[in-house]
Chain A
């Protein structure tokens, strides 16, 4: 266990003590105590910057299940460090924000910070794990803690619905991912991601490679809310706003991005990876930005915008895979895509975090998040307004904010695709920049919507629950820091170039690096009149135009079929699954014992028949058969008649007597086949059981005592005949194929010699195999006590249950 391990486990340890702190120090907001930890961790992770700058990495291993090769291996390279810094950095700001957002007296803060710390630790574990099994464990922990956080206000129905939805979808993806990991580790014979990446080229040729890729991608897409799995994210907005800011914009949804980036060295050589990741990402981006415009809830807009931005990053990672197929590093344009992905990842975390916090402030201070009720808040909440403008303009991709730079790089990468002659891109390549551009137009529209619908226009105090005013300074600190970062990264993007972006990008596409070399990451603010600049200008112009004309075309959304949305599909499929499984269960669980007996017998016939047929198990060999005498034949005739009488008798009494007849005939069989002990016992037992049957008959309720012929049912007859035939066949073939001699010679020889008896049956019963007898008499004892208990213990009210009285 090294310091790194303790850093991952520290949030969990802290979570243990949070309830205690919350109880003991009730006067001070619990968040202040929690705040210390992420700040410390952030400081600690900063110290790794010089290490990753040189593209070197740190690996620390602690044994967990060494016999299975599962170790808790912490691994820090540029990519993990970037994520670790995001998690702890934004984590600190979110905790600070939550101190002012959530009230110490009204909310269950003990729960909140336990879940939040759990989540933080799990997220750190995801990004710092090298072992896929450990990664999966932390992955599911993020799902669980996110589930708890979404349903934090568990008395609201929508919260529970959202939590359940996100749980079902992300856990589905998580399980798929586990499958992918297992396939991968079977192919590569190791659980370590680095060792898997080292044999990426061999893995590519494996027939299971495609399966592993799809499964891992399913995990990434569900977590990162890609199409069509994005539906959980808008419903997860029921969580408290600090949670939305932290989980659903900056960290958890980026776990999928991290996964794609982390597994890029393994999968990215495949053309399918390029296509799937790139196309799904781009489609998600366009689709979600298109849908964001129609939202009226501020958090709804931000949720869809998060989905859209995640799609953007995802598509950049997919397109970046093309860089592996371009030979020289110097004119490799697709490396831009990887760098843009990393850069936008950082940018998105900053501006989306600040936007969520700003929305949280608006919600907190006005009591609503509905943009139809809000308006004219500019002069009332100037600081929030400024924050929102910075965040939204950065999101829209306007200069001088950092979103502008990453959006430019995004366009550049998409335009470069036109030059690519790989993967049948020549015909479809044009779709990429076009879709990217359309998506960006809608991004622009909803971004300025946030500003203009909320802060300008008419102030409608009558619709608001509270009198709006500026938020307390404590609540503003975190978004101010994030907004400052947006501006700073926008103005001085190269602050990050070599410290964070280059190592992270190098970790995503390590194979194109020359040994010991570095990628050339220089983000220039002005790069001449390139196509991407004109695209941005086009976005702005068309965006403003469309925004102005919005009342004209907003009705378009009404024409979208409401019935065929993915949410509808999700709800309907849950409903159908529930109804379907109910129907299936009800269809065979009839509650009638005859149905269940039918299943058992049919299964018996089927299995036995199939085995006999498939294994050719039926034998007939009469050589071991004994001659049949007159007595046997006549007894058999009696037996058959008696049995038929049981079946055909009208009265139960006849059946009972015929059953007695069967029993006595059997005891006669025992006489003929020289089994005197059996004959004796059979006689007495048959007498007793017939007497008991008569007793039962005597006590039948009068209603059901009337005589009736048993109805003939073809199915029953068929099954009965089948069972009879099967047992007969089984008996014949078992008798025909004796493979070894019986052990009865031993008994014959030793009954007198060793056991001092002459009745072999009895000697076997009490001596050679007395064990059986011991427990048979125990069975008898249990039966007797059971009958005694059943009859004597009548606990029902009224006691008397005999209907005849």
Chain B
């Protein structure tokens, strides 16, 4: 008998976005409230895992046509780049800079290079989690 996961799949499609938004929120809020790149990344991959459960690896791969291993490299590059960027301004490695800007739509917002570093963490965590799960899932 062929099972029909229509309810699960439909719910997953909706819940996926809720999780993703929550994850993005956690990521952006990290500097001021609990959260940050690590939890954000884990939740993001959790959302993708939900899709994996509801559909299958092929479908998800079709939806996210990227190799997650590249994400690891990209994340590490972001992190190291942020840390090394401070050298260009003649300050020690890993010196962050921040300032407040008046942005349209957002109003007064602080922009912080730590965010770029955290973005690296975020990407690495997604890449690592997805690589592990995908690899194990595909293996016979």
Contacts and interface: CB of A to CB of B under 8 A. Distances in A.
Nearest to B79: A774
B140 A802 contact: yes
B112 A757 contact: yes
Interface string A681-693: 1001100100010
B33 A788 contact: no
A684 B76 CA distance: 22
A62 interface: no
A677 B34 contact: yes
B32 A788 contact: no
A688 B34 CA distance: 20
B130 to A, nearest CB: 9
B135 A758 contact: no
Given A777-B121, A777-B124, A785-B72, A766 B136 contact: no
Best-buried of B31, B80, B117 by chain A (most CB within 10 Å) = B31
Interface in B85-139: 94, 96, 98, 110, 112, 114, 117-118, 120-121, 124-125, 127-129, 131-132, 135-136, 139
A780 B128 contact: yes
Nearest to B117: A766
A684 B49 CA distance: 12
B69 A785 contact: yes
Nearest to B129: A688
A765 interface: yes
Contact of A784 (B46, B120, B132): B132
B36 A766 contact: yes
A18 B45 CA distance: 73
B128 A781 contact: yes
B42 A685 contact: yes
A777 B75 contact: yes
Interface in B29-77: 29-39, 42-43, 46, 69, 72-73, 75-76
A783 interface: yes
Nearest to A677: B34
A625 interface: no
Interface string A571-586: 0000000000000000
A718 interface: no
A684 B39 contact: yes
B79 A777 contact: yes
A761 B121 CA distance: 15
A526 interface: no
A780 B121 CA distance: 10
Contacts of B124: 777, 780-781
A415 interface: no
Given A756-B110, A777-B120, A787 B140 contact: no
A766 B140 CA distance: 39
A756 B30 contact: no
A564 interface: no
B27 to A, nearest CB: 10
Contact of B32 (A676, A684, A757): A757
B121 A757 contact: no
Nearest to A802: B140
B34 A756 contact: no
Given A756-B110, A766-B117, A777-B121, A680 B128 contact: no
Given A676-B34, A759-B33, A773 B121 contact: yes
Contacts of A692: 136
A58 interface: no
B83 interface: yes
Given A681-B42, A787-B132, A778 B76 contact: yes
Given A780-B125, A784-B127, A759 B31 contact: yes
Interface string A732-769: 00000000000000000000000111110111011100
A781 B130 CA distance: 11
A788 B135 contact: yes
Contacts of A771: 83, 94
A77 B83 CA distance: 71
B72 A677 contact: no
Given A676-B34, A758-B33, A784-B127, A763 B136 contact: no
Nearest to B99: A756
A788 B121 contact: no
A791 interface: yes
A777 B76 contact: yes
A770 B83 CA distance: 9
B31 A758 contact: yes
Contacts of B132: 783-784, 787-788
A692 B94 CA distance: 35
A563 interface: no
A680 B135 contact: no
Contacts of B125: 777, 780
Interface string A778-805: 1011011101100110000000101001
Given A680-B34, A774-B117, A787-B135, 17 more contacts: A677-B35, A681-B39, A684-B46, A692-B136, A758-B31, A758-B33, A759-B29, A759-B36, A762-B30, A766-B117, A770-B117, A773-B79, A773-B117, A777-B75, A777-B124, A791-B136, A791-B139
Interface of B: 26, 29-39, 42-43, 46, 69, 72-73, 75-76, 79-80, 83, 94, 96, 98, 110, 112, 114, 117-118, 120-121, 124-125, 127-129, 131-132, 135-136, 139-140
**6 nearest interchain CB pairs?**
A676-B34, A784-B128, A757-B31, A756-B98, A758-B32, A777-B124
Interface of A: 676-677, 680-681, 684-685, 688, 692, 695, 755-759, 761-763, 765-767, 770-771, 773-774, 777-778, 780-781, 783-785, 787-788, 791-792, 800, 802, 805
